[in-house]
Chains A and B, each alone.
Chain A
Amino acid sequence: MSEPAILVEALSKRFGDLAALDGIDLQVEEGTIFGLLGPNGAGKTTAVRVLATILAPDGGRAEVLGRDVVREPAAVRRRIGLAGQYAAVDPNLTGRENLRMVGVLGQLPRAAIAPRAAELLERFSLSDAADRPLRTYSGGMRRRLDIAASLVPKPPVLFLDEPTTGLDLTSRNELWDMIRELVDEGTTVLLTTQYLEEADQLAERVAVIDGGLVIANDTPERLKADLGDTVVEMDFADEALAGRALALLEGDGLGSVEHEHRTVRVSSNRGAHVLVDVLRRFDGDGVEPDTLSVREPSLDDVFMALTGHKAVSDEIDEGEAR
């Protein structure tokens, strides 16, 4: 087997009393997309910052394409691209000027810079806005330019920290397609996300991270198989009614059933059929939910299943804990 593109062993990083990374292990194979899934404050951004040589770790080690992030940071920087959570671009420069600046600083040969900038502007549908200052760009355009900037030096390894947060659906889908294209061309992508769906859509492998620890590391299919692919969630008028519903639903065949105050949740891998079964069991017993929704499992469901607690953190803002 070939060397992994990204290797992380027992990596730890503390900010004061807070263990942002509490000894994590990861391996990312070359030419794949790896998803780092977790709530705010789980340690995702800290992990990316250490891998991008921005933060020094307190313990453990990390390598990118065989180069140690602490001992050979310059060599690592020549191999990576980073698009952080904020659109890290200069608002006073035009799109083209931003990309050219990154081309120079990314040590691209002079003759290659202008064509590379034009190529990326075209690819990210920014050609029309290329010569306008970024102050005039929309949020989605800035984010696209930010990701384009991270690609200027053609890095073999790309870190994307919550790339689609704040994007509308169309922009998000476009971005997903672009990420897939990059991987088809051989790029290795490590992406962090709060959305299970995003990890599921893009990543070959997903590590679920919580409180600085990796609590699951598997393919999205197997993570979801444990959960089922469909969740039916119902709210009842009061807890007594929810209790009666629970009694009707528990038993063979439906999947896992959870109950929390006035809410009952059924997780199943039988698709929409489960809804018919649920309603059939209620029929005749006079049990009717106030609201009912059928959806795919969310990050909350993964967390509930893995940790027994919700993916709601204490909102530790990693930006503040720098």
Chain B
Amino acid sequence: MSAETVATRTQVALDRHIPMGVARDTVAIVQRNLIAYRRVPQLLVFSTIQPVIFVVMFRYVFGGAIQASLPPSVPYVDYLMPGIFLQTVVFGAIATAIGLATDVKSGLMERFHALPMARSAVLSGRTLADTVRNVFVVALMMTVGFLVGWRIHTDVLGLLAGAGLVLLFGFSMSWIFATVGLAVGDPETAQAASFPVLAPLVFASSAFVPVETMPTWLQGFAAHQPVSVTASAVRALTLGGPAAADVLASIAWSIGLIAVFGTIAVRLYRRAV
């Protein structure tokens, strides 16, 4: 056998095509990120303790005062819980920023870059793993909600549709924070850089209080920004009333954010080593 034949055979083996390569690579990265949540439960515990504290604080401390600005037919706890779900997924998305920044710093990103894997898998594997985590965390927060008196005024379908909207929105947040994490490339900085991004989104919104109680200059932003729009949609789905417009607006926001920040994040990833 000539040396050339050997070389050709080797090259064919090296360039073999693996079917479903993108899906296979993405699943490998999702698994890897979920293992971290299982092995380092602190990651999960801290991302659930905070929203539980918020539930208790707003339900029992501020709730009485805020109830006055709501129609009497809407108990504050029923208004609050959709906001809590959104706060949970927005704060939870910091984990996406920290996770990616850690991979940049540790050199793992460099290893991924030098492997013949799907380029998209590192980022989508991260954001999908964080979405799986959100399923768990949102289910937990719903349980907490039921324990403090949250009630669904519609039906199970409304509840599931609302949960779907929250998860889609959480996925779009993961892409924003993926961008933050890749841009700063250091876990501590990623954490610090995330708060200024998420604070206005969560607090200048209808998540905890009706927008009408805010100064007029803030109302324009607060009423239309994606957290408020999604909170309104989830409320309509769980409290009853016309939901279509808010649901569509929320989906449009989420898809738009994924498109914009997905593009930026992929660009940053290509040069983030």
Q: Which residues of A contact B (CB under 8 A)?
A: 2, 49, 52-55, 74-75, 77-82, 84-93, 97, 101-102, 104-107, 109, 133, 149-150, 153, 156, 322
The reply to whether the CB of B259 lies closer than 8 angstroms to some CB of chain A is no
Q: How far is the CB of B22 from chain A (nearest CB, A)?
A: 11
Q: Which of B111-127 contact A (CB under 8 A)?
A: 111-117, 121
Beyond A92-B36, A105-B28, A105-B29, 20 additional pairs, beta carbon < 8 A: A53-B114, A54-B113, A55-B273, A75-B14, A77-B115, A78-B15, A78-B116, A80-B114, A87-B107, A88-B108, A92-B40, A93-B35, A93-B36, A97-B32, A97-B35, A101-B28, A105-B25, A105-B112, A107-B16, A322-B273
Considering only residues 1-39 of chain B, those with a C-beta below 8 Å from chain A are 3, 10, 14-16, 18, 21, 24-25, 28-29, 31-32, 35-36, 39
Q: Is the Cβ of B116 less than 8 Å from the Cβ of A82?
A: no
B27 to chain A minimum Cβ distance, whole angstroms, is: 8
Considering the complex of A and B, which 5 residue pairs feature the smallest CB-CB distances, nearest first? A86-B107, A88-B107, A105-B117, A77-B116, A92-B36
- The answer to whether B143 has its CB under 8 Å from any CB of chain A is no
A240 to B33, CA, bound (A): 66
Contact of B28 among A55, A91, A104 (CB under 8 A): A104
| B106 on the A face (CB < 8 A) | yes
Q: Are B111 and A74 in contact (CB under 8 A)?
A: no
With A78-B15, A79-B14, A133-B39 already in contact, the answer to whether A107 and B116 are too (CB < 8 A) is yes
What are 6 A-B pairs with beta-carbon distances under 8 A? A84-B107, A89-B108, A92-B35, A97-B35, A107-B116, A153-B116
Q: Does B110 contact A (CB under 8 A)?
A: yes
| B270 closest partner in A (C-beta) | A56
By a CB distance below 8 angstroms, the chain A residues around B16 are 107
**Given known contacts A88-B106, A107-B18, is B114 in contact with A102 (CB within 8 Å)?**
no
Chain B residue nearest to A97 in the complex (CB): B35
Cβ–Cβ contact A106 & B117, under 8 A? yes
Contact with A along B88-102 (1 / 0, CB 8 A): 000000000000000
Contact partners of A156 in chain B: CB under 8 A: 10, 14
Task: Tell me how far the C-beta of A112 lies from the nearest C-beta in chain B, rounded to whole angstroms.
Answer: 11
A322 to B185: give the CA distance in the assembly, Å. 11
**CA distance in complex: A89, B108 (Å):** 6
In the complex, which residue of chain A has the Cβ closest to the Cβ of B122? A105
- Interface SS, A side: loop
Task: Give the distance to chain A from B42, nearest Cβ to Cβ, in Å.
Answer: 12
Chain B residue, CB-CB nearest to A100: B28
Report which of A49, A97, A105, A109 forms a contact with B273, defined as CB distance below 8 A: A49
A55 to B113, CA, bound (A): 10
Q: Which residue of B lies closest to A85 (CB)?
A: B107
A246–B40 alpha-carbon span in the complex (Å): 64
Question: Are the C-beta atoms of A102 and B40 separated by less than 8 Å?
Answer: no
- CB proximity of A94 to chain B, nearest CB, Å: 9
Q: Is the CB of A149 within 8 A of B111?
A: yes
Q: How many Å lie between the Cα of A85 and that of B25 in the bound state? A: 25
A92 and B113 CA atoms in complex are apart in Å by 20
Find out whether the CB atom of B32 lies under 8 angstroms from the CB atom of A90. yes
Q: What's the nearest-Cβ distance from chain A to residue B229, in Å?
A: 36
Distance between Cα atoms of A89 and B110 in the complex (Å) = 10
CB distance from B120 to the nearest CB of A (A): 13
Which among B18, B24, B110, B116 has the greatest number of chain A C-beta atoms within 10 A? B116
Residues of A within 8 A of B3 (CB): 2
B114 touches A82 (CB 8 A): yes
What is the CA–CA distance of A153 and B111 in the complex, to the nearest angstrom? 13
A86 and B106 alpha carbons, distance in the complex (Å):
7
Question: Given the complex, which residues of B lie within 8 Å of A153, measured CB to CB?
Answer: 115-116
Closest to A150 in B: B111
B107 to chain A, nearest CB (A): 4
Closest to B37 in A: A92
Task: Write out the residue numbers on chain B whose beta carbons fall within 8 Å of the beta carbon of A78.
Answer: 14-15, 116
Distance in angstroms between the alpha carbons of A90 and B35 in the assembled complex:
10
Q: How far apart sit A80 and B116, CA to CA, in the bound complex (Å)? A: 9
Q: B113 to chain A: which residues have CB within 8 Å?
A: 52-54
Residues of A within 8 A of B39 (CB): 92, 133
Q: How far is the CA of A150 from the CA of B16 in the complex (A)?
A: 19
> If A105-B28, A107-B16 touch, does A88 touch B110 (CB 8 Å cutoff)?
yes
Please give, as numbers and ranges, the residues of chain A lying within 8 Å of B108 by CB-CB distance: 88-90
Contact of B21 among A49, A88, A107 (CB under 8 A): A107
> Given A79-B14, A84-B107, A92-B39: A52 and B114 within 8 A (CB)?
yes
CB of B111 within 8 A of CB of A82, answer yes
Q: Who on chain B is nearest to A156 by CB? A: B10
Identify the interface centre among B14, B15, B29, B117: most chain A CB within 10 Å of its CB. B14
Q: Could you tell me the distance between the alpha carbons of A261 and B207 in the complex, rounded to whole angstroms?
A: 73
Q: Which residue of B lies closest to A103 (CB)?
A: B28
| With A78-B14, A156-B10 as contacts: A104 and B114 at CB distance below 8 Å | no
Chain A residues lying within 8 Å of B14, measured Cβ to Cβ, are 75, 78-79, 156
Measured CB to CB, the nearest residue on chain A to B18 is: A107
> Which B residues are CB-close (under 8 A) to A53?
113-114
B35 and A107 form a contact (CB under 8 A): no
What separation, in Å, do the CA atoms of A92 and B32 have in the docked complex? 8
Contact A93–B110 (Cβ < 8 Å): no
Give A14 Cβ to nearest chain B Cβ, in Å: 15
Specify which chain B residues have a CB less than 8 angstroms from the CB of A91 in the assembled complex.
106
